[in-house]
Chains A and B, each alone.
Chain A
Amino acid sequence: MKWKDKLKFVRQNVKKNRMRTFMTVLATAMSCAFLIIIASVGFGVQKTVVDELTADALVTEIDIHSRIDSDFGQITLADIQYFESLDHVKAVTRSNFTGLTMEDDDDTTSDASIFGEITAMEALKQSGKLELAYGKYPEKENEVVVGAHFSDVFSERAFRNIEDTQQWLDKTINIMVTGESTTMEVKIVGIIEEPKKEWVSSEQIVIDELLLLNHGVSLGDSQQYDNVKVYMDHVKYVEETNKAISEAGYFTYAVISEIEQFSSFFFIFQAGLIFVGVIAIIIASIGIYNTMTMAVTERIQDIGIMKAIGSHPSTIRQLFLIESAYIGFIGAIIGTSVSYLLSKMVNVAMPVLLELAIERQPPEDFIFSYIPLSLVIIAVTICIGIAIISGIRPAMRATRVDVLKALRRDI
């Protein structure tokens, strides 16, 4: 029997009991949609909440204090290069702090003393740790950014007002390392966001170490770094990398280690969703099993006739398996389309509902339900697979139909 004819045959059979087929397809479609929607919420929440959270500098950060040896050896350039060579390391930031003196151009006031952070600017930019409120990231070595409260440097008391600092944007100033005589001209191109902790003052000026290097200025032993941090490209690599660095002989600290169940939480969350989805699928499969059993019973005479004139048992089995797969397929198609619609609606409605409920706007471009292609493929495969599995027993029963009993012995 040709495949084309088998399909035609099945389609004709399915139409014999439209109502029953419709109900079964409906049940299958509903459970398929249920599975997709439930998983899509899992994916959606993961995508917006978790991915954002896990990409955050805070959780991907590994703090490196010093080497573990007798004199707490400071981190050198060689160590930095070693960290950078590790897999999944996004950036290694390092900085030294020093006092700077800012020269007043027109000598109207006395020179101001400011707090300087000498850093590897490129790494700092890559780490994602440097977040600007105004301006742009430095591109040239003589471009610098300043803290939100930089203007407090010139006043008696601390106003902690970023608006005051804004007037310094795009200004060019002359600075020198306290105790050195080389004057360096730098341009303020960006202002760092205000610190989250209100009591913290942020008055520093962040300068690329290359600037000092090119001016021949050194800070004591310039090969050593104070404030070294390794940033991973995903939170999932933090633990193992932290361990590796620690075992290589450094004192390290990663915030994420404090949140022990972090990764298992999401596993449990998703497993729970999958469990609920699987229950839905099982219910649908019972429906398909029931429908197919009834179809076989109903068609015993047809099966008997077909066997009597010479249709192979495997053909009979295939016809019924195709029939249940067909129900699963149609159900999956409808279920997928419905879940796409529902997903769209949920994403539109959810922020509104959330706003009403907690009187707070959810984060921007917050996705509540997200349906990746892989989810559709998996759900459709599961649906059709389960449908076929549900059809196996009825199909086997069909192949075992006794010709003479089916023809009621009136041959």
Chain B
Amino acid sequence: MYGCDFLEFGCTTLEGFFFEINKYDYRKAMKGEMIELENINHSFEIGTKKHKRKVPVLHDIHLKVEQGEILSIMGRSGTGKSTLLHLISGYIKPQQGKIMINDTEVTHFTEGEWADFRLQHLGFVFQNFQLIPSMTAMQNAELPLILHGVPEAERKNKVTDMMKRLDIEKYMEHYPSELSGGQQQRVSIARALMLNPSIILADEPTGSLDSENEQSLLHFIKQLNEEHGITFLIITHDEQVAKVGHRTLLMKDGRIAEGGHAI
């Protein structure tokens, strides 16, 4: 069924390519709102049970991200960039406001609903890669497919193809500790792409990479975006990295200072 994987260059006709895309998500070939945050306020509670204190982190966040957009998020440390991404990932629950992703209201999702939604629609790239140390590169990349119940033979094909594409097929049997930072990040990208997500959320994805690996990662992000219309949210403190984005969001003290409106 995946004979013409949307990430494969091997697709012969453009028609076939779009046909495959449509099967995953017709929105990939269309423009429209991919992520929409409305009036998000968020604060953390700190201190002991007796002496609780609220620390407001995000204020009046209104944000729209279009389908196929690369959004760079910049700002000083501690301004709430990660918190924003965590809300979109469902790792923390919004206390106020509304979140729409891919035309689905996720504001009141249960943990289980979030899990299914994440698996099917979102891809994650972390600064520290977050690979499971006791699993090989192959097994780490395979994980979303296993969770999704994809049969073994098909899994092997997909992972092998993806790893070839990322130029790490030689390291399939390596454990994360036996890989360089750049290689580990490729494995985590392979894992993020396995189930053809419509959005990839990346928090400082180049933070642990050398400049060579950084460049190839940025190149790859552009390629995925152009060829497959994947929407990216990339947090970075590096101006050079931010340039990969179509738009840059600047955050200051929990507010969006610049770039809050779609271009």
Q: Answer yes or no: A174 CB below 8 A from chain B CBs.
A: no
**Residues A411 and B82 in contact, CB atoms below 8 Å apart:** yes
**Residues A305 and B130 in contact, CB atoms below 8 Å apart:** yes
Q: A5-B146, A315-B147 are in contact. Are A308 and B130 (CB under 8 A)?
A: yes
Residues on the B chain within 8 Å of A409, using CB? 82
Among B135, B144, B146, the most chain A Cβ lie within 10 Å of the Cβ of: B146
Residues on the B chain within 8 Å of A314, using CB? 112
Q: Answer yes or no: B79 CB below 8 A from chain A CBs.
A: no
Assign chain B's interface to a size class: 35 or more
**Residues B144 and A309 in contact, CB atoms below 8 Å apart:** yes
A409 to B151, CA, bound (A): 33
**Residues A309 and B149 in contact, CB atoms below 8 Å apart:** no
Which of B22-30, B60-68, B119-127 makes up part of the contact surface?
A: B119-127
Which of B47-55, B85-93, B157-165, B222-230 makes up part of the contact surface?
A: B85-93
Q: 8 additional contacts, CB 8 Å, given A309-B192, A312-B112?
A: A5-B146, A12-B135, A308-B130, A309-B119, A310-B116, A310-B118, A311-B147, A411-B124
Per CB-CB distance, the 10 closest pairs between chain A and chain B, nearest first, are: A310-B119, A310-B118, A312-B115, A410-B128, A411-B203, A403-B91, A411-B126, A302-B132, A311-B147, A5-B146
B 109-153 to A, binary, CB cutoff 8 A, 1 in contact else 0: 001100111111010101110111111000000011011110110
- With beta carbons under 8 angstroms apart, the residue of B91, B131, B146, B192 that contacts A1 is B146
Residues on the B chain within 8 Å of A9, using CB? 146
* Chain B residue nearest to A6 in the complex (CB): B146
Measuring CB to CB, which residues of chain B are less than 8 angstroms from any residue of chain A?
Answer: 82, 85-86, 89, 91-92, 111-112, 115-120, 122, 124, 126-128, 130-135, 143-144, 146-149, 151-152, 191-192, 203
**Pair count A-B, CB < 8 A:** 84
Main secondary structure of the interface of A (DSSP, over half): helix
Pick 13 A–B contacts, CB within 8 A, sort by A: A2-B151, A5-B152, A9-B146, A306-B132, A309-B147, A309-B191, A312-B116, A407-B126, A410-B126, A410-B128, A411-B127, A411-B130, A411-B203
**Residues B86 and A411 in contact, CB atoms below 8 Å apart:** yes
A312 to B203, CA, bound (A): 23
A 1-43 to B, binary, CB cutoff 8 A, 1 in contact else 0: 1101100010011001000000000000000000000000000
Number of interface residues of A (CB under 8 A): 28
**Residues B91 and A313 in contact, CB atoms below 8 Å apart:** no
Q: Answer yes or no: A404 CB below 8 A from chain B CBs.
A: yes
* Chain B residue nearest to A8 in the complex (CB): B146
Q: A311-B115, A411-B126, A411-B203 are in contact. Are A305 and B132 (CB under 8 A)?
A: yes
**Residues A308 and B120 in contact, CB atoms below 8 Å apart:** no
CB contacts under 8 Å to B, within A213-252, are none
A 309-338 to B, binary, CB cutoff 8 A, 1 in contact else 0: 111111100000000000000000000000
A301 to B117, CA, bound (A): 21
- With beta carbons under 8 angstroms apart, the residue of B111, B132, B149 that contacts A2 is B149
A297 to chain B, nearest CB (A): 15
* Chain B residue nearest to A312 in the complex (CB): B115
Q: Answer yes or no: A160 CB below 8 A from chain B CBs.
A: no
A7 to B151, CA, bound (A): 14
A117 to chain B, nearest CB (A): 81
Q: A306-B143, A309-B143, A411-B130 are in contact. Are A404 and B86 (CB under 8 A)?
A: yes
B35 to chain A, nearest CB (A): 17
Q: Answer yes or no: A307 CB below 8 A from chain B CBs.
A: yes
Residues on the B chain within 8 Å of A305, using CB? 130-132
CB contacts under 8 Å to B, within A393-407, are 403-404, 407
B44 to chain A, nearest CB (A): 11
A310 to B120, CA, bound (A): 8
**Residues A310 and B115 in contact, CB atoms below 8 Å apart:** yes
**Residues B85 and A411 in contact, CB atoms below 8 Å apart:** yes
Residues on the B chain within 8 Å of A410, using CB? 126-128
A302 to B124, CA, bound (A): 15
Residues on the A chain within 8 Å of B120, using CB? 310
